[in-house]
Copies of this chain bind each other. A is one copy, B any other.
Amino acid sequence: MKAVSIVRPGDSSQLIIEQREKPIPKSTELLIEVRAAALNRTDLLTRANTLLKAPYPILGVEVSGIVVENPGTDKRFKPGTRVAGLVNQGGYAQYAVLPVDRAILLPENIGFDCGAAIPEVFLTAYQTLCWLGELKPEETVLIHAGASGVGTAAIQIAKHIIGARVITTAGSKEKLTVCENLGASETINYKEEDFSEKVLACTNQEGVDLILDFVGASYWEKNIESLKKDSRLILIGTLGGSIVKEVNLLELLTKRVTLKGTLLTPRSDAYKAKLTQEFIKVVMPYLELGTIKPVIDTIFSLEEVEKAHRYMESNENIGKIIVTI
Contact = CB atoms under 8 A, between A and B. Distances in A.
Interface of A: 216-217, 220, 235-238, 242-263, 266
Given A244-B246, A245-B245, 10 more contacts: A217-B249, A236-B253, A238-B249, A242-B248, A243-B247, A243-B249, A244-B247, A253-B261, A254-B261, A258-B260
A254 B266 contact: yes
Identical copies of this chain, number: 2
A247 B235 CA distance: 14
Contacts of A244: 246-247, 249
Given A243-B248, A245-B246, A248-B242, A262 B266 contact: no
Q: Which of A236, A243, A251 has the most CB of B within 10 A?
A: A243
Contacts of A248: 242-243
Contacts of A262: 253, 256
A143 B258 CA distance: 19
Nearest to A241: B249
A235 B249 contact: yes
20 contacts: A217-B249, A220-B249, A235-B253, A236-B253, A237-B253, A238-B250, A242-B248, A242-B250, A243-B249, A244-B246, A244-B249, A245-B245, A249-B261, A252-B261, A253-B263, A254-B261, A254-B266, A256-B261, A257-B260, A259-B259
Contacts of A253: 235-238, 242, 261-263
Most B CB within 10 A of own CB, among A243, A244, A247 = A247
Contacts of A216: 249-250
B256 A263 contact: yes
Given A238-B249, A244-B246, A248-B242, A258 B259 contact: yes
B252 A235 contact: yes
Contacts of A254: 261, 263, 266
A51 to B, nearest CB: 13
Nearest to A215: B249
A258 B258 CA distance: 7
B249 A242 contact: yes
Cβ-closest 10 pairs across A and B: A252-B261, A242-B250, A253-B261, A259-B259, A244-B247, A242-B249, A247-B247, A216-B249, A258-B260, A256-B262
A236 B256 CA distance: 10
Nearest to A266: B254
